[in-house]
Amino acid sequence: MNQRIQSINPVYGSNSVTQERNKVLRNTYWLLAMSLVPTVLGAWLGVATGLTRSLTGGLGMIVFLGGAFGFMYAIEKTKNSATGVPVLLGFTFFMGLMLSRMIAMVLGFKNGTDLIMTAFGGTAGVFFVMASLSSVIKRDLSGMGKWLFVGALAIMVGGIINVFVGSSVGMMVISMMAIGVFSAYMLYDLKRIVDGGETNYISATLALYLDVINVFQSLLALLGILGGERD
């Protein structure tokens, strides 16, 4: 009977859909916040032990790409089960571990701690702006997806090439591109949740986490190149 009432009453149905979208958004925010804990732990462990110090050049790229895509495949396979959350948190720990090499390099600067906090604050600011925009923009942004994918692909290819070239200018260009593309991706992914296009909070969290970590990493790289002070 309740299902019949819901299907007949447009107001009831609308409220139900809105509640479901709000639930997905709320769970996504909670899980995204939770995912930062293993990221910080992974980064701390990497810096403290130097586990990733030897992962340079092609070796580092192979370990990162293999681990990242392996985890993302596992998350996709487990997103509808109770295993999905632990697998996602394991992925964020791995990402923190991979990020530790850059963090250790930045901490080598006299103002390294300030640079990390500035990158963190900048990323939080970008997320706040995009979250606010996603709640007020009424236009359908689904058409952005293919262009953002092309941009992300170009950044990945450029990043792989620069691993072997080792150009600071190339790193700056890639970092600036990544900040723009993944900030836009943040808006796109948030809008999909708000519009009901994404109904699985684990998938939604994974997408937003990748946006956030890419913006943070790119900001940190840019700040390190432009503002790093050596003793």
The amino acid at residue 49 is T
Asked if residue 60 lies in contact with residue 101, where contact means CB atoms within 8 angstroms, the answer is yes
What value does the mean pLDDT take over residues 187-194?
Answer: 91
What value does the mean pLDDT take over residues 202-227?
Answer: 92
Residues belonging to the chain:
231
Asked if residue 8 lies in contact with residue 188, where contact means CB atoms within 8 angstroms, the answer is no
pLDDT at 65 over 70: yes
Mean pLDDT of the chain: 86
What value does the mean pLDDT take over residues 142-147?
Answer: 86
CA distances from 119 to 8, 24, 109, 224 (A): 51, 28, 14, 10
Between 67 and 13, name the one with better pLDDT. Answer: 67
The amino acid at residue 64 is F
Compute φ and ψ for 230, nearest 5 degrees. Answer: -90, 150
Asked if residue 97 lies in contact with residue 43, where contact means CB atoms within 8 angstroms, the answer is yes
Asked if residue 147 lies in contact with residue 180, where contact means CB atoms within 8 angstroms, the answer is no
Whole-structure pTM value: 0.87
